Amino acid sequence: EPPYTPKDFSCQTQDMRTITCTWRAGGETYLYGRNLPRYTLSETLSQKNLCKASCSKQCSCSWDRGQQKIWNVTVTVENTLGKKTATDIFDVNHRMYPTAPFQVWGESTDTEITLHWNYQNHRIELFCQTEVVQPDGKVELHNSSDVASHHRRATVRGLQPHTEYKARVRCGAAKHFWRWSEWSQPLTIRTMEGTPLGNLDIWREITPVLGGRNVTLFWKQTPTFRPNGRIISYEVTWEKKEHGSKTERISIPSVYNSTRIFIDNHSYRISIMAKNKVNFSLPSVLIISRATDNSRKILFHSFLGTEEFKEGTVNGTDDGIFISWEPRSMYDSYIIDWCNFPGLQPCDLQWKRFGPNTSSAVISSDAFVPGVRYKFRIYGSVYNKASLLEKKTGYLKELPPQLEPTMKKVVLTYNSVMLSWDYYFANESELGFVRGYHVYVSPIQGNCNLKGSKKHILSDDSELCKYTIENPEEKSYTVEHLMSNTKYKVAVKAFTAGGETPIVNFMYIDTPYNSNLLYLVFLLVIIPTLVAAICHWKMKWVKECCCPVIPSPNKSKVLSFKEFKIGSEKVLKISDCTPDVLAMDNKAEAQKL
């Protein structure tokens, strides 16, 4: 194919002596070797050839400019199938493309850096730009036009003290700007140290001792605190609030973040400052109130962990432990403190501050693990003086209890069993709050189907009857509706919000016979049998007593009327009777009657 028109044809100079033109080949001609496209640059007006080139993609060609300022340059590309041209008309003073600055070095103060560099052509006035990369990767550009000396320089202000920056420089013509030079090699430079900005976040733990109080002081850098250098120590001062009292001070090496001091029962003002080699930070202040009898009592109970303050319970969430408290309008902030590792002595006390309009928070820590009980104290603070308001206890996640109830008493009847047990709360080492107990019952043979129970299926698919007691202080239960003379297995498990441990051991009981059933059998079977045996044995006597051949008048119901009695004897009137047969036994007796 014939050649294509060159693309992006333009010319420029880097030193005002040599002109270089660049362009891109317009397209593929599918011709190679001697038939490759040939490029010729010529001055259009004078028809003077300037240079020649042969290339396939990115092309350039250079020549000495002499004294000529205005140029009309044509590039001609041709092969055996044709030719094409492109033209660029320019003033060489408007096509300055400087070389990259070199030998870049710098100097700094606490908030400024000044970059210096060299440049090959000192006769050209340059407009330079400095790129500064912040520690977080943010890029800032700063412009400078300082051309007063052979060593170019640029000053960047408003930087952070004791911070490492990366900087580089590029330049363009100050007059008739054409394009920027390439960037110089980057320079890494650190600003000098400055006065620490802001103040520390400080806290305390007070322990009552004989004659006063031990105060353990803690401090940490807040997100807004800027050390502006390497902290070399922390300065702790304390003094009584009364005027004219002596100020005491100690200096703590920077590797520590706590210290302990002793104060008496007066009110004290304590301040802590961070120090680098330049200066101190602003002081952070705590006020320790005078120790009254009531405050000593509160401190004593708080130190021992007794119930001067009733502890509320808090719950864990996916993000941490949720804590809420009752807000009080008198305080300007709230503080929550806790121990990340409650089992350690002394524990690593942590704390967090909240604004006056906050009444709940989620406390999170990488140290929080399931099954560990954490204690939180909530303080209200006003004018740097803190007062204990509430205490909370909770878990990130509760686990099943590690202790088993101990069976204390078992009382059996033929259809019930009363179980009594003891459960000793381990408190600090408990894996969760015990919410109650489950009582499990099942006969050895067959499934359980007791009234008032719920079914519970074990891992081996066996079935138990389950009763729930939701009061952890209630440690007895009576299981009713059992069958007499039956063997049962029984278990009692404590449970938390994390559930309970698997049932491993059962207690076995045997219900006795039903004594009421024995009485009933005795009445319905034994006594009638005895009566029948006696009757059979004394048959004749029984017959004479119960069914005589000749009844006794005195035993006849017919002769029970009063008017038929003579004295104590009953009288039968013959006229009242209709006999079947009338017979005369003894004529003499009959005549007498």
- The answer to whether the beta carbons of residues 230 and 277 sit under 8 Å apart is yes
Element spanning 535, H or E? helix 527-537
Residue 172 or 558, more confident? 172
Which residue from 4, 179, 178, 7 is spatially nearest to 88, judged by alpha carbons?
Answer: 7
Tell me the sheet residues that pair with 259.
217
**Whole-angstrom Cα distance, residue 495 to residue 432?**
9
For residue 151, what pLDDT is reported? 56
**Whole-angstrom Cα distance, residue 368 to residue 38?**
76
- Residue 555, domain member (yes or no): no
Which residue from 229, 98, 108, 228 is spatially nearest to 167, judged by alpha carbons?
Answer: 108
**Last-in-domain residue among 374, 395, 416:** 395
Query: Which of the 8 DSSP states describes residue 432?
Result: S
pLDDT over threshold 60, residue 583: yes
- The answer to whether the beta carbons of residues 154 and 167 sit under 8 Å apart is no
With bands split at pLDDT 50, 70 and 90, how would you rate the model's confidence at 590?
low
- Written as one letter, the residue type at 420 is S
Which residue from 136, 9, 26, 122 is spatially nearest to 73, judged by alpha carbons?
Answer: 9
- The answer to whether the beta carbons of residues 136 and 177 sit under 8 Å apart is no
| Coil, strand or helix at 217 | strand
Assess whether 207 and 155 both reside in one domain. Answer: no
Assess whether 115 and 41 both reside in one domain. Answer: no
Q: Count up the domains in the chain and report the number.
A: 5
pLDDT tens figures, 43-70: 887 788 888 888 778 889 999 888 888 9
Q: What average pLDDT does range 491-495 have in this prediction?
A: 93
For residue 119, what pLDDT is reported? 82
Which residue from 142, 159, 148, 108 is spatially nearest to 126, judged by alpha carbons?
Answer: 148
Assess whether 229 and 186 both reside in one domain. Answer: no
- Residue 554, domain member (yes or no): no
Q: Which residues neighbour 309 within 8 Å (Cβ) at sequence distance 6 or greater?
A: 298, 301, 302, 388, 390, 391
pLDDT over threshold 50, residue 303: no
**Whole-angstrom Cα distance, residue 472 to residue 584?**
96
Where in 365-524 does DSSP place strands (E)? 373-382, 385-395, 406-412, 417-422, 436-443, 454-457, 463-469, 476-479, 487-495, 507-510
Which residue from 439, 492, 489 is spatially nearest to 468, judged by alpha carbons?
Answer: 439
Alpha helix locations (H) across 177-332? 293-304
Residue 278 or 567, more confident? 278
- Count CA within 13 A, CB hemisphere, residue 326: 5
For the chain, percent of residues with pLDDT exceeding 90: 48
- Domain containing residue 330: CATH number: 2.60.40.10
Assess whether 74 and 138 both reside in one domain. Answer: no
**Whole-angstrom Cα distance, residue 5 to residue 25?**
7
pLDDT over threshold 70, residue 426: no
Residue 477 φ then ψ, to 5°: -160, 145
For residue 552, what pLDDT is reported? 61
| Coil, strand or helix at 533 | helix
Both tokens of 408, joined, read 């204390």
Element spanning 588, H or E? helix 587-592
**Whole-angstrom Cα distance, residue 238 to residue 287?**
10
pLDDT over threshold 80, residue 437: yes
- Residue 151, domain member (yes or no): yes
Which residue from 389, 204, 201, 200 is spatially nearest to 288, judged by alpha carbons?
Answer: 204
For residue 217, what pLDDT is reported? 96
pTM exceeds 0.75 for this model: no
Assess whether 278 and 323 both reside in one domain. Answer: no
For residue 554, what pLDDT is reported? 58
**Last-in-domain residue among 156, 190, 224:** 190
Q: What average pLDDT does range 209-216 have in this prediction?
A: 93
Q: Which of 164-178, 273-287, 456-470, 496-510 has the highest mean pLDDT?
A: 273-287
Assess whether 150 and 116 both reside in one domain. Answer: yes
- Written as one letter, the residue type at 294 is N
| Coil, strand or helix at 185 | coil
List the domain range (segments joined by +) for residue 161: 102-190
pLDDT tens figures, 340-350: 998 888 788 99
Q: Which residues neighbour 251 within 8 Å (Cβ) at sequence distance 6 or greater?
A: 233, 234, 235, 236, 275
- Residue 401, domain member (yes or no): no
Assess whether 90 and 132 both reside in one domain. Answer: no
Residues of the chain by 3-state class (helix, strand, coil), percent to 5: 10, 45, 45
- Residue 277, domain member (yes or no): yes
**Whole-angstrom Cα distance, residue 281 to residue 416?**
75
**Last-in-domain residue among 49, 74, 94:** 94
pLDDT tens figures, 513-539: 866 655 665 666 777 788 777 777 767
Query: Which of the 8 DSSP states describes residue 366?
Result: T
Assess whether 502 and 410 both reside in one domain. Answer: yes
For residue 520, what pLDDT is reported? 60
Q: Which residues neighbour 212 within 8 Å (Cβ) at sequence distance 6 or greater?
A: 262, 263, 264, 265, 291
